[in-house]
Amino acid sequence: MLDLNEIVDSFIKDNDVYIKYLPSINNLGKVIFNEQINVLEKKWSRTFSLNESIQICFNFLKTIDKDLANEFKNTIKSLDSDNLPYVNFISKEEYPNSSSHITKKRVYIYYDNSPYDVYTILHELIHKLNDYEYVVDDIKTVESFEKLYFGETVSMLGEEMLGKYMLENNFINENDYSYRKYLRLNNVKECIKDIIVENELINMRKKSLDINYDNCLNILNNYSKDSIEYKILNDEKNNLIRIRNILEKKELSFPVSQRYILGYALCEQLSSNKDINEIFKIIHNEIGSIDSNIKDIMIGILKNYEDTKKSR
């Protein structure tokens, strides 16, 4: 059986492209980790049928681009090469622990008739519409790395814009609106914990340190007790959630986790822009284009975001 040292070593060997960006993502994560979203009630005010959710997504996309909205509708109705539906809707009652996702061939939406369904349908369908799946197979090249990163960003930006649309059109109330943002931020904070823990493991192995209890304790105690690192690493010491996960899956989670951190920061930065519909279309099309220069566009936005937060 592979031990933790071996898993981290083989990850380092194969993933230059991810490790290069780790320090900047780490810093960004620490900025986001301090954010709070207040919500009065942690529940939804209403339900939606699946058809209502799909219709809201369609009407929302029409406000951005008619063609995009039609593409959305056609994709929902379309069949794959095996004559099976591209988009599969599955009740959460049957599979309470599954989460919606896209594979090379299909989209799987787990629904529970809550307003969250509308966000999920839009999020996964945007992946499908910007040809996200064509890079999923080959994630270790720089080009697909960028597209995967920004693929999450454009789906998350869509969610953000959809929230405002649903609130303005009275499909949801103020609390529903904040509740979705609260859930998203909490989800991103879990990703930040992945990054902080795994960053330490990678740094340990780069210094040829054995990943064992004493060495980890040493690293923990080098941080001041009020630092974000101390809080996260100390929690990990007590519950070992992330370490267990790595041992079980035999891989690190940060290639996936950091996409959501980056996506969150970029959405915050972009969503209040008055030209948001145009920006959304640009990013959406860049993701789907083979020779996109999306990285330069995004790095500028990101730098701006960190500077604004730091100067507060």
Three-state DSSP class for residue 79 = strand
3-state DSSP assignment of residue 78: coil
CA 173 → CA 163, 176, 177, 272, distances in Å?
Answer: 10, 5, 6, 19
Q: CB-wise, 114 or 155, nearer to Zn ion?
A: 155
Instruction: Report the residue number, 86 or 223, with the smaller CB distance to Zn ion.
Output: 86
Residue 140 C-beta: closest distance to Zn ion, Å? 19
Of 158 and 211, nearer to Zn ion (C-beta) is 158
Q: Which is nearer to Zn ion, 152 or 176 (CB)?
A: 152
Among candidate residues 36, 18, 76, 49, the one with its CA nearest the CA of residue 194: 18
Torsion-angle region of 217 (φ positive above 0: left; ψ -120 to 50: alpha; else: beta): alpha
- Least distance to Zn ion from the beta carbon of 85, Å? 20
How far apart CA 202 and CA 257 sit, in angstroms, is 15
Q: Which residues of 188-219 are buried (b: 16+ CB within 10 A; e: fewer)?
A: bbebbbbbbbbbbbbebbeeebebeeeebeeb
Residue with token string 């937060």: 309
Q: Tell me the closest approach of the beta carbon of residue 76 to Zn ion, in angstroms.
A: 17
Name 85's bridge partners: 79
- Kindly state the smallest distance separating residue 283's Cβ from Zn ion, in Å: 14
Phi-psi bin for 243: left (phi > 0), alpha (psi -120 to 50), beta? alpha
- Both tokens of 32, joined, read 């986001």
Using CB positions, name the residue nearest to Zn ion: 155
Q: In whole angstroms, how close is the CB of 133 to Zn ion at the nearest point? A: 11
Which residue lies nearer to Zn ion by CB, 48 or 264? 264
Looking at beta carbons only, is 7 or 150 nearer to Zn ion? Answer: 150
Q: Are 200 and 237 in contact (CB under 8 A)?
A: no
Nearer to Zn ion, 48 or 132 (CB): 132
Residue 53 or 120 having the CB closest to Zn ion: 120
Task: Work out how close the CB of 294 gets to Zn ion at its nearest, in angstroms, rounded to a whole number.
Answer: 16
- Contact indicator for 213, 236 with CB cutoff of 8 Å: no
Min separation Cβ 108 and Zn ion, Å: 12
**Residues in the site for Zn ion, rule: CB under 5 A?**
152, 155
Minimum Å distance from CB 127 to Zn ion?
Answer: 6
Parallel, antiparallel, or unpaired for β 101-102 and 107-111?
antiparallel
